[in-house]
């Protein structure tokens, strides 16, 4: 899928640089050519000899290479590639990119290029979570820079959390998507995720236990297959994926409006846990106890049915996928919901407290379609997302 594609690979200075060697091999296996750029810090972790031997190409390191610079070599390097990939993208490299610094070959190439850029962040968990890093990433996303990862896991420093560089195979999939080689290239998919918060007064609200993890994983998996994803998310406890258009909402009515604005689309995946009801008599001021012992009376109104509206509307996508979180008779309730809402598929799961699924890292779903009910084994939410994304790609092919 990368036949004839030229990848300029910038290897930053982090322990994850060793993965760049495997990344070179996988890019070549997919048919692509690699032109490596090794930063001064990157050369502390991998040698130019090993990088060049695998890439079968000269390893570029110095900005002031007089032979190359006589012909403006840094400009030619930055323009002759189809895609620039930074792996590992350290906190320092991300900061340079976000602020437009160009004090070495790598940062100069990134500033001079007119080609798309994909970064694979890798750093200590505290560095990843630091406000400066997240601010830099926000700037890069708004500049159109794509990203893959980081993953969560144990660090070389012994700490645990997000910050591990994505595995080389995942980076290759992201490269394919960035170059329009994924099966969903050219497709627009709307994904909803997370809970909604329905206000009672300015400081209280009604919500549910959804973390948004499954919807977030789905958006990332669809993005990795090449889709253009509009991610409409309630106040989830997990951050949204990079490389997608993020629309943040609070209430069900705000989510309904955001979904309507995002259409038309080729597919809609309604993974959000939308509140069925809202407080009709929400107070503009904080409700206080008056000493009488009487609780305030809350009046409820039904929220808009986003799934049914999308399924039956004039801008209906080719494929509409709903979700059903049940605690009893999962298949029967989900099958009835599919017929009632008018969607193509329902992804049902048992969210009884004993399952640990609501807010957990794993899921066990049943895919309900015209073909019947297909039970999937319990697996990680990322794996569920990849499997469902592949089914969506097949359906839209």
Nearest CA to 323 out of 382, 394, 371, 385 is that of 385
pLDDT of residue 151: 80
Residues 170 and 293 both lie in one domain: no
CATH of the domain at 271: 3.40.50.10300
Residues 34 and 130 in one domain: yes
Q: What is the pLDDT of residue 70?
A: 46
Integer angstrom CA distances of residue 368 from 190, 271, 310: 20, 14, 18
Tokens 């253009």, residue? 228
Alpha-carbon distances of 57 from 42, 68, 77, 135, rounded to whole Å? 17, 15, 13, 35
What's the pLDDT tens digit per position in 178-209?
887 678 887 899 999 999 999 999 999 999 98
Residue appearing with tokens 């609501």: 358
Do 142 and 286 lie in one domain? The reply is no
Same structural domain for residues 164 and 212?
Answer: no
The residues, ordered by sequence, that sit 6+ positions from 365 with a Cβ below 8 Å of its Cβ are 347, 348, 349, 375, 376, 384
- Same domain for 166 and 193? no
Considering the domain architecture, whether residues 229 and 97 belong to the same structural domain is answered as: no
Phi-psi region for residue 121, left (φ > 0), alpha (ψ -120 to 50) or beta? beta
- Sole residue written with tokens 């989900």: 334
Alpha-carbon span 224 to 386, nearest angstrom: 9
pLDDT at position 66 is: 45
Note whether 295 and 314 are same-domain residues: yes
In a domain, 1, yes or no: no
End of a domain among 122, 156, 178? 178
CA pair distance 376, 349, nearest whole angstrom: 10
CA distance 163 to 120: 10
Which of 122, 154, 178 terminates a domain? The answer is: 178
Q: What is the reported pLDDT for 69?
A: 47
Neighbours of 304 (CB within 10 A): 16
Catalytic annotation, pick one of 157, 301, 332, 336:
157
Do both 138 and 230 map to the same domain?
Answer: no
106: domain CATH number is 3.40.50.1950
Q: Rounded CA gap, 199 and 235, in Å?
A: 13
Answer whether residue 374 is part of any domain: yes
343 is catalytic: no
pLDDT for position 20? 95
Last residue of a domain, one of 160, 178, 196: 178
Name the residue range of residue 339's domain. Answer: 188-396
Q: Is residue 283 domain-shared with residue 162, that is, in the same domain?
A: no
Residue 18, pLDDT score = 94
Low-confidence ranges of the chain (pLDDT < 50): 66, 69-71
154 and 293 co-located in one domain: no
**Tokens 């840094």 map to which residue?**
74
Cα separation, 6 vs 115, whole angstroms:
11
Total number of domains in the chain: 2
Residue 183 domain-assigned (yes or no):
no
Looking at the structure, tell me whether residues 123 and 218 fall in a common domain.
Answer: no
pTM beyond 0.85: no
Same domain, residue pair 127 and 205:
no
């Amino acid at each position: 899928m990368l036949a004839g594609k030229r990848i300029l690979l910038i290897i930053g200075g982090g322990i994850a640089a060793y993965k760049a060697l495997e990344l070179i091999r996988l890019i070549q296996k997919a048919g692509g050519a690699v032109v490596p750029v090794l930063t001064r810090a990157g050369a502390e972790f991998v040698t130019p000899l090993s990088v060049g031997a695998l890439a079968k190409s000269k390893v570029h390191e110095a900005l002031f290479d007089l032979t190359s610079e006589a012909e403006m070599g840094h400009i030619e390097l930055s323009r002759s590639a189809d895609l620039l990939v930074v792996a590992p993208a350290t906190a320092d490299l991300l900061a340079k990119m976000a602020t437009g610094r160009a004090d070495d070959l790598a940062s100069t190439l990134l500033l001079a290029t007119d080609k798309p850029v994909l970064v694979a962040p890798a750093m200590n968990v505290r560095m990843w979570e630091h406000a400066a890093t997240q601010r830099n990433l926000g700037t890069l996303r708004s500049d159109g820079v794509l990203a893959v990862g980081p993953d969560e896991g144990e660090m070389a420093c012994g700490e645990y959390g997000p910050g591990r560089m994505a595995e080389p195979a995942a980076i290759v999939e992201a490269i394919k998507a960035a170059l329009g080689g994924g099966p969903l290239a050219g497709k627009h998919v709307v994904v909803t995720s997370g809970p909604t918060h329905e206000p009672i007064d300015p400081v209280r609200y009604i919500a549910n236990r959804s973390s948004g993890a499954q919807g977030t994983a789905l958006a990332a998996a669809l993005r990795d297959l090449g889709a253009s994803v509009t991610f409409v998310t309630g106040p989830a406890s997990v951050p949204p994926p990079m490389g997608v258009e993020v629309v943040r909402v609070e209430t069900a009515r705000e989510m309904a409006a955001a979904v309507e604005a995002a259409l038309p689309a080729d597919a809609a995946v309604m993974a959000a846990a939308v509140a069925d009801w809202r407080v009709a008599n929400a107070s503009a001021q904080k409700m206080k106890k008056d000493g009488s012992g009487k609780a305030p009376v809350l009046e409820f109104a039904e929220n808009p049915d986003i799934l049914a509206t999308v399924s039956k509307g004039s801008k209906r996508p080719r494929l509409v996928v709903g979700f059903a979180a049940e605690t009893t008779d999962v298949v029967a309730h989900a099958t009835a919901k599919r017929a009632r809402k008018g969607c193509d598929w329902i992804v049902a799961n048992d969210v009884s407290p004993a399952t640990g699924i609501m807010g957990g890292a794993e899921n066990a779903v049943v895919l309900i379609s015209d073909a019947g009910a297909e039970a999937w084994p319990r697996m990680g939410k990322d794996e569920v997302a990849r499997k469902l994304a592949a089914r969506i790609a097949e359906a839209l092919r």
